[in-house]
């Protein structure tokens, strides 16, 4: 990822963080709409807690884009926990779509082509 793309992603993330509750709610609403199998996967989860954890994990990843290699053990262990949750590979694409939807809704006109490309580089 280029330094310019990292900056674009980090700057736009600031806008999302300012509306962290709506961002997380919008993300899960969109995920549940895109993949009807997903609500059942979260049946036992405390959704407020889950929203907080997701936003924290995304913040950690986005703030660390320039040192991503150092994060790989944490990401690998998160990936292993998701295998145990029954998450399939194709569901990561749905999560990606839900995330891009949430960004485009909340960032509005500033989510232009260069910014979309930067987010897609992650
Ligand atoms: C960028 C990709 C993702 C990130 C950053 C992420 C993040 C997280 C985090 C931080 C947790 C809290 C528990 C833990 O740390 O193990 C979690 C739990 C969970 N995630 Fe994800 N996740 C991702 C992708 C997915 C996908 C594709 C699915 C499938 C729909 C999914 C379904 C779940 C489920 C079912 C739980 C457990 C909820 C519970 O019962 O407490 N996640 N996720």
Atom nearest to 35 CA in ligand 1: 30
pLDDT tens, position by position, 17-36: 999 999 999 999 999 999 99
Provide the CATH number for the domain around residue 19. 1.10.490.10
Examine the pLDDT at 71 and tell me if it is beyond 80.
no
The pLDDT of residue 3 is 84
Ligand 1 pocket check: which of 32, 40, 44, 50 to mutate, most ligand atoms within 8 Å of Cβ?
A: 50
**Measured between alpha carbons, how far is 87 from 3 in angstroms, rounded to an integer?**
32
**Measured between alpha carbons, how far is 33 from 58 in angstroms, rounded to an integer?**
21
- Please give the residue range of the domain that contains residue 113: 3-121
**Measured between alpha carbons, how far is 30 from 36 in angstroms, rounded to an integer?**
10
Q: Quick one: angle between helices 20-34 and 89-107, nearest 10?
A: 130
Segment 105-109 mean pLDDT: 96
**Total domains, the chain:** 1
The pLDDT of residue 96 is 96
Using CA of residue 4, residue 115, residue 94, residue 32, what is the dihedral sign? positive
Examine the pLDDT at 122 and tell me if it is beyond 90.
no
Examine the pLDDT at 68 and tell me if it is beyond 90.
no
């Amino acid at each position: 990822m280029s330094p310019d793309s990292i900056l674009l992603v980090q700057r736009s993330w600031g806008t999302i963080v300012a509306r962290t509750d709506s961002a997380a709610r919008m993300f899960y609403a969109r995920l549940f709409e895109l993949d009807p199998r997903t609500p059942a996967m979260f049946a036992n989860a405390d959704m407020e807690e889950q929203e907080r954890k997701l936003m924290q994990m995304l913040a950690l990843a986005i703030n660390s884009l320039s040192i991503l290699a150092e994060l790989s053990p944490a990401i690998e262990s998160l990936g292993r926990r998701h295998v145990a949750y029954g998450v399939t590979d194709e569901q990561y694409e749905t999560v990606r779509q839900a995330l891009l939807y949430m960004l485009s809704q909340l960032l509005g006109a500033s989510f232009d082509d260069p910014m979309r490309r930067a987010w897609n580089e992650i």
